[in-house]
Structure 1
């Protein structure tokens, strides 16, 4: 028996410590997201600052031929927009007279997101599986080929996630079309008779399905499937063929009917809009007229910033409900940088340099695009429920400046808004009426919503925890982590959070090497480790939401107690029905 008890105690200790290991921080997102429907001086100030800064940038002489459209949206509505019209235009073909939310751009590779959404919808409908191989849907990949791409091992999921290992392009990006004198690069003269006769090889005549399949059957892989991520445009052209073969519709018509029309994206299409709404950069407006043919699924869409805000609102509200096969905004593989990842087909960037006074990371789920004359990007920041669209025509350097200016100031302001709203709605002293139980919550930039005092039936929990579980004191804090779930999910009642025990000891030198320990950065997430009589020991439920957004009561599930916000001066019931035990 003693051995059993000892083993159990050891297991409990390991379980608790595994909540947040060693010296790492628990990087809670800034959930729940801010209420953008209320007045926000934080955002208003940020937008004024952004507007002033980008005006200075756009006034530089090198951007005289450049235009831009920028929009910021929440999951409900557009919060801010800014537009700039180039001061230098082509006299014979100036394009849109004044840039606004309905001005059209070529959005290039942002198109890939629509292609993947089409695939996800067909997966959800049961018409295909993400884990089926591509050769099951494109018969032209079967049979003899002079190359050795392993189509029978390449799934739709790997294609959509940049993990197929297949080459980037087949009809673009060839220096033979760019260099008048190949010897400048030490390249020999060569005949082009074996190359396709379309797109950049053929005065931008649209390529056909047969031309694409004939060319890629001779290609060789960069990597084995699912081994390493590498960017491929061919992957999405193949997914476009899949959608066409599965639905019986032309790819373009399917995207129009299943995505663009339902979302009211009336100014987005694969058909070239009129010059009256077009952003046409001086000297490089020729690509506006290029028909990408079979390459449409990788970069053929024309769109406006207002339409893309509609799309981002859809993504913000549906990303985890399109299909049970995946959370659409989660990373799938590592990219080159330590802080960068590929999604499906997103480019995901995670940084802890943005929020001053805190090491909490911010995740940007993005998709960028580029074609001659155009650079574009959409960005989603899930924890703040924000979407950003930046479309540029002209100088390619402009987008980098705008992206930095808009994203940094916006997220810093949104984080200030989060803090204020959490302090107004959740931070307080909560007390029971008939027993000596209370919980005090406070908010800091580094820890988020945290427990600063906790008395349970007369026991000081912050003193008991280090004694019972061998946790150093001082050197830990109890941080609340939102789950985005509710006790009553249908009526969104009873907001559920979990308490994380976080050890906040500073990193120390390794006594042998005098170096900062490498493994201090290794952390795992485990927020459901201990129970008491069947209920989670660390579950906190916010109840009884008032009109001003504050919560009147909180429930500590395992302790079978409900505490009332002291600020309202009305003490209510303190015990749950004992039958719930």
Structure 2
């Protein structure tokens, strides 16, 4: 690491010099720098926590103020923990004016139009338009386009086929565009101006629109790519896209208020904004192709059920779920990454410790309907935001997601700390080996704070920089504070004790020292390299940062196994 010694304190500089000379590449981070992800177990009883209850009341007041002036727009917002059956926050607003052919009262079962999330595979039988020269500028490179590229908007394919200004009336020659022929543009697409596209019509028109990038060059939001995934699903499953979604997702999860197409006419649960007949997007059928990209309908309860299933790994195995819940590519916004097809927002201003939080979202908007589905894996949190009408919009629902996180997450953080104090905080000891360790939960720091860490009479935190110093020339007077963070690994349980894995991380430096070091580099957070520091001190195959807690049925820890030190401590 090329950290400038002039920016370090004497003790940190000594630690850095030792780490460099020892050949161990043990980088020293200069302040609390937790690993990305949860720093404590998510609270399992948030609805009973007084801080959460106060935040809920405050957020409800904000939504009441927001919707007070809405005359024709419905709003449904709900937030739940996957550990509780019911949402701990629920808000539904029915405006005074609406289309009376739908529901007259908005609640958690009210059906809205939303965007969809599709599954993955590969396709190679879409062709260039006859007459085009075959090259990478005119023809998609199907040898390089993968399912992952389609799902994460990295295929380089264009955004839409039916969104073409040539189909709308207007004198475009006045804007410098050429005169249109008699058959100017797409004649299908499922918008209000076009009938739904059949698969054959999609194949017919696809090659008329050139690619934007070579695959994996940059991000282009592509409904076309999602539509292709739907075609792949049909080819692989042997079912229609609608039947596949019904059999694979809707029926297993009991999502009785979710539809891949417009609900039956006798379904009166949908909220329909008041509009002229030619602007009623509730009835717009996007057809078998574009339905996969934006034709779904669902309710608040079904969204919460889906989010709970995702975070509880009911649709995929835990490993597959964790793989799915990861970014795939950066975007031009520093605060936004993309997954498959997640839109992942990154925030550093919502928790007391100021750490990085990732919010997994999927948004959807079609004229008069805007929705956002938000997951916060660090807190096992699911949020559904559904709106209908013309007083909201896509920016408004994103703002509601941001507001929900800003209002509720600090309270959930406090709730998690309160539960962790009961479950983990305290002193653990083994008198036979003169070993002890104390865990506490502070208000602003992440994870479990470790103090009085003594093993066989030796202060561990005071000797962190000495453990790999094989020449015996130990450095004295350097105390490096440490904290424990959950690794997500567990064993046992099911009626008996459970082993829960934690990892220790040692921090040094003050916030000012962190800022000074970061100021030397053009990228932010240079000092925070926890990912490169874990599992660095290993003694006879066991890491010194490896701590396993034994937890009873009540969730309370009874002992700690310091596996690298080969010492077991009982809670006292």
Q: Shorter-chain TM-score: which interval?
A: 0.7 to 0.9
- Residue number among 478, 482, 485 corresponding to 2:489 in the alignment: 485
Contact persistence 2:110–2:270 (CA under 8 A): yes
Structure 1 partner of 2:425: 427
Question: How far apart, in 2, do the equivalents of 1:102 and 1:202 lie?
Answer: 27
CA 400–433 in structure 1, closer or farther in 2 if over 3 Å, else same? same
Deviation at 1:192, TM superposition (A): 5.8
Secondary structure, counterpart of 2:547 in structure 1: strand
- Residue number among 297, 307, 321 corresponding to 2:292 in the alignment: 297
Counting only pairs closer than 5 Å after superposition, residues 379-418 of structure 1 correspond to structure 2 as: 379-394=374-389, 395-397=391-393, 398-418=396-416
Secondary structure, counterpart of 2:309 in structure 1: helix
Structure 2 partner of 1:579: none
Gaps of 5+ in 2: 1-17, 133-137
- Residue number among 321, 325, 340 corresponding to 2:317 in the alignment: 321
Structure 1 partner of 2:181: 191
Residue 208 of structure 1 pairs with residue 204 of structure 2: no
- CA offset digits 1:52-91 (Å, max 9, x no partner): 110011002xx2111011121222423232111011224x
Deviation at 1:21, TM superposition (A): 4.3
Structure 1 partner of 2:34: 26
Structure 1 partner of 2:331: 335
Residue 362 of structure 1 pairs with residue 357 of structure 2: yes
- CA offset digits 1:252-287 (Å, max 9, x no partner): 111011110110001111232246211111226611
Structure 2 partner of 1:167: 158
Contact persistence 2:461–2:479 (CA under 8 A): no
Question: How far apart, in 2, do the equivalents of 1:97 and 1:514 lie?
Answer: 56
Question: How far apart, in 2, do the equivalents of 1:472 and 1:411 lie?
Answer: 41
Contact persistence 2:226–2:292 (CA under 8 A): yes
Structure 1 partner of 2:563: 557
Contact persistence 2:497–2:553 (CA under 8 A): no
Structure 2 partner of 1:283: 275
Contact persistence 2:46–2:81 (CA under 8 A): no
Deviation at 1:456, TM superposition (A): 0.9
CA 209–510 in structure 1, closer or farther in 2 if over 3 Å, else same? closer
Residue 229 of structure 1 pairs with residue 219 of structure 2: yes
Secondary structure, counterpart of 2:60 in structure 1: helix
Gaps of 5+ in 1: 1-8, 120-129, 567-581
- CA offset digits 1:338-366 (Å, max 9, x no partner): 1210000000011101124x221211000
Deviation at 1:464, TM superposition (A): 2.0
Contact persistence 1:159–1:239 (CA under 8 A): yes
Deviation at 1:467, TM superposition (A): 5.2
Secondary structure, counterpart of 2:531 in structure 1: coil
- Residue number among 146, 158, 171 corresponding to 2:149 in the alignment: 158
Contact persistence 1:148–1:218 (CA under 8 A): no
Structure 1 partner of 2:112: 105
Question: How far apart, in 1, do the equivalents of 2:95 and 2:77 lie?
Answer: 14
Deviation at 1:471, TM superposition (A): 8.5
Deviation at 1:34, TM superposition (A): 1.0
Secondary structure, counterpart of 1:99 in structure 2: coil
CA 437–326 in structure 1, closer or farther in 2 if over 3 Å, else same? closer
Deviation at 1:199, TM superposition (A): 2.8
Residue 309 of structure 1 pairs with residue 292 of structure 2: no
Structure 2 partner of 1:123: none
Secondary structure, counterpart of 1:287 in structure 2: coil
Residue 43 of structure 1 pairs with residue 47 of structure 2: no
Contact persistence 1:374–1:393 (CA under 8 A): yes
Contact persistence 2:30–2:513 (CA under 8 A): no
Deviation at 1:94, TM superposition (A): 5.0
Question: How far apart, in 1, do the equivalents of 2:418 and 2:514 lie?
Answer: 37
Aligned length: 528
CA 152–218 in structure 1, closer or farther in 2 if over 3 Å, else same? farther
Deviation at 1:453, TM superposition (A): 1.8
Deviation at 1:434, TM superposition (A): 2.0
Question: How far apart, in 2, do the equivalents of 1:427 and 1:155 lie?
Answer: 48
Deviation at 1:44, TM superposition (A): 1.5
Deviation at 1:144, TM superposition (A): 5.8
Deviation at 1:409, TM superposition (A): 1.2
Residue 539 of structure 1 pairs with residue 539 of structure 2: no
TM-score (norm 2): 0.85
Question: How far apart, in 2, do the equivalents of 1:324 and 1:158 lie?
Answer: 18
Question: How far apart, in 2, do the equivalents of 1:405 and 1:388 lie?
Answer: 11
Secondary structure, counterpart of 1:541 in structure 2: strand
Question: How far apart, in 1, do the equivalents of 2:23 and 2:34 lie?
Answer: 17
Deviation at 1:31, TM superposition (A): 3.2
- Residue number among 47, 53, 78 corresponding to 1:71 in the alignment: 78
TM-score (norm 1): 0.84
- CA offset digits 1:463-497 (Å, max 9, x no partner): 22245568997674212121111244877711110
